[in-house]
């Protein structure tokens, strides 16, 4: 059900500028469902901007301009009649720094469910929270302390809580903006394990600066430099047989 011809997300000639300073230049990319696609690139190359274009999180930046098309299941999410809120329900996001709300573990996960009126019974809400936490491999660690303020969890736990929070509203796509950048190797390993497991059900788009991470988890890898796509390929080919000289240079640490 995931032929490359039917991608979940499709970007066509997307260019973006902030205060007339170009950030993305003519990006055309597709992201398939039920797999992890990784976007690599040096810092400041526009990978985060690219990711934030996919759930229109850049909308509120003053002086931000975007041209081109971003299609989710074939529908332009920047169309004048597109519903941003509905879009963000379908496209969840996990950020670089774990950013749980200053609320309890339970309320963090329940936030999105309540926000979208997904349920109106307390028991259904509790079930949904438990399911999300289980999917995020956090349930066993927090099931006895759901009332604990989320900020008291460890960094890795906080990040998994943020994943659970994103999962709770049943998204189709999950955007991951360097989710392991602020975590130690052990916590990173757990998150990567979790991502691989989630790839069976969601379209995951992972921005990372770690070559090793992309090589470990991604099915497809793209390299972005100065806002332009340099190369896209299957991860194994990308790393073993890079086509573009810039990719070779990037992979060799230049």
Partner 1 sequence: MNAAAALTESQRHRRRRWQRRREGALTALFALAASLAVLVTLGMVMTLFSGAVGFLQRVGLVDYLFGLVWQPQIGMRADQGLVEGQFGLLPLLGGSLLITVLALLLAVPIGLGAAIFLAEYATSGQRNRLKPLLELLAGIPTVVYGFFAALVVAPLLHYLGGQLGIAVSAESALACGLVVGVMIIPFVASMADDALYAVPQAWRDAAIALGATHAEMIRRTVLPAAFPGLVSACLIGFSKAIGQTMIVLMAGSLTANLTFNPLDGVSSMTAQIITLLSGDQEFASAATLSAFALALTLLILALLTNTVGVSMNQRWRQRHGQN
Partner 2 sequence: MDKTKGNIEGKLVSQTKDTAMTKGMALSARTHQRRLRRARHFRALTILAVAMALALLGFLLTSIGVKSWEGFSEAQVRLTIPLNIPLNIPLTSPLAVPATASPTTPSAPPTTTADQPASATATPGQAQADPFALLKAGWQQRFGEANSSRRSLQTIFSRTAEEHIAQAQSRAGNQPAITLWLPANQHIKRYLNNPSDPGLADLLSPHQLQCLAELQAAGDLRRSMSVDFWNQPDARSPEAAGIAGALLGSLMTILVTLAAALPLGLMAALYLEELAPRQRRLTRAWWRLVEVVTINLAATPSVVFGLLGLTVFLHLMHLPRSAPLVGGLVLALMALPLIIIAARNAIRTVPVEQRDAALALGASPMQVTLHHVLPAAFPGMITGAVLALAHVLGETAPLMLIGMVAFIASYPTSWLQPATTLPIQIYLWATSPEPAFASKAAAGVVVLLVLVLSLNALAQTARRRWKHRW
Closer residue to partner 1 in complex, CB, 124/148: 124
Query: Out of partner 1, partner 2, none, which partner does residue 13 contact, by CB within 5 to 8 A per kind?
Result: none
The rounded distance, in Å, linking the Cα atoms of 32 and 173 is 10
Query: Out of partner 1, partner 2, none, which partner does residue 120 contact, by CB within 5 to 8 A per kind?
Result: partner 1
CA angle, corner 94, sides to 32 and 207, nearest 5?
A: 55
**Minimum distance from residue 49 beta carbon to partner 2 (Å):** 13
Please enumerate in sequence order all residues whose Cβ is within 8 A of that of 128, keeping only pairs 6 or more positions apart, or say none: 109, 110, 113, 118, 119, 168
- Our finding on whether 20 is near partner 2 (CB under 8 A) is no
Phi, psi of 226 (to 5 degrees): 50, 40
Closer residue to partner 2 in complex, CB, 29/110: 110
Closer residue to partner 2 in complex, CB, 175/222: 175
Closer residue to partner 2 in complex, CB, 51/230: 51
The rounded distance, in Å, linking the Cα atoms of 232 and 228 is 11
Phi, psi of 64 (to 5 degrees): -100, 130
The rounded distance, in Å, linking the Cα atoms of 9 and 42 is 23
Phi, psi of 63 (to 5 degrees): 65, 30
- Our finding on whether 116 is near partner 1 (CB under 8 A) is yes
The terminus-to-terminus CA distance of the chain in angstroms comes to 38
Among 5, 20, 43, 121, indicate the residue that binds partner 1 (CB under 8 A).
121
Do the beta carbons of residue 91 and residue 166 sit within 8 Å?
Answer: no
The radius of gyration computed from the CA coordinates of the chain, to the nearest angstrom, equals: 18
- Our finding on whether 116 is near partner 2 (CB under 8 A) is yes
- Our finding on whether 53 is near partner 2 (CB under 8 A) is no
Token pair of 90 as six digits: 């379908």
Report 158-187 residues binding partner 2 (CB under 8 A): 162, 165-166, 169, 175
Distances in Å between the Cα of 138 and the Cα atoms of 106, 142, 160, 162 are 12, 6, 7, 10
Q: Residue 225: which H helix or E strand, with range?
A: strand 220-225
**Minimum distance from residue 128 beta carbon to partner 1 (Å):** 5
Query: Out of partner 1, partner 2, none, which partner does residue 170 contact, by CB within 5 to 8 A per kind?
Result: partner 1
User: Which region, judged by CB under 8 A, interacts with partner 2, from 67-75, 92-100, 193-201, 239-247?
Assistant: 92-100
Query: Out of partner 1, partner 2, none, which partner does residue 71 contact, by CB within 5 to 8 A per kind?
Result: none
Token pair of 212 as six digits: 């090793």
Binding site for partner 1 (CB under 8 A): 85, 116-121, 123-124, 127-128, 131, 170
Binding site for partner 2 (CB under 8 A): 55, 57, 60, 62-64, 85-89, 92-93, 95, 97, 99-102, 111-112, 115-116, 162, 165-166, 169, 175
């Amino acid at each position: 059900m995931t032929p490359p011809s039917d991608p979940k997300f499709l970007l066509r000639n997307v260019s973006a500028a902030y205060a007339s300073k170009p950030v993305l230049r003519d990006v055309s990319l597709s992201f398939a469902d039920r797999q992890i696609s990784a976007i690599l690139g040096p810092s400041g190359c526009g990978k985060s901007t690219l990711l934030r274009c996919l759930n229109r999180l850049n909308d509120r930046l003053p002086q931000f301009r975007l041209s081109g098309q971003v299609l989710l299941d074939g529908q332009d999410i920047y169309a004048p009649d597109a519903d941003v809120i509905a879009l963000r329900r379908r496209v969840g996001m996990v950020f670089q720094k774990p950013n749980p709300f200053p609320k309890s573990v339970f309320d963090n996960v329940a936030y999105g469910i309540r926000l979208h009126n997904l349920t109106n019974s307390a028991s259904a809400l509790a079930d949904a929270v438990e399911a999300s936490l289980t999917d995020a491999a956090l349930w066993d660690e927090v099931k006895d302390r759901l009332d604990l303020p989320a900020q008291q969890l460890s960094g890795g736990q906080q990040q998994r809580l943020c994943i659970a929070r994103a999962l709770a509203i049943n998204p189709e796509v999950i955007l991951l903006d360097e989710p392991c950048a602020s975590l130690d190797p052990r916590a990173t390993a757990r998150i990567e394990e979790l991502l691989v497991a989630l790839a069976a059900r969601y379209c995951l788009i992972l921005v990372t600066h770690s070559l090793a991470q992309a090589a470990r988890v991604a099915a497809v890898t793209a390299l972005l430099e100065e806002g332009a796509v340099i190369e896209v390929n299957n991860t194994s080919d990308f790393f073993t047989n890079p086509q573009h000289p810039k990719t070779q240079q990037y992979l060799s640490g230049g």
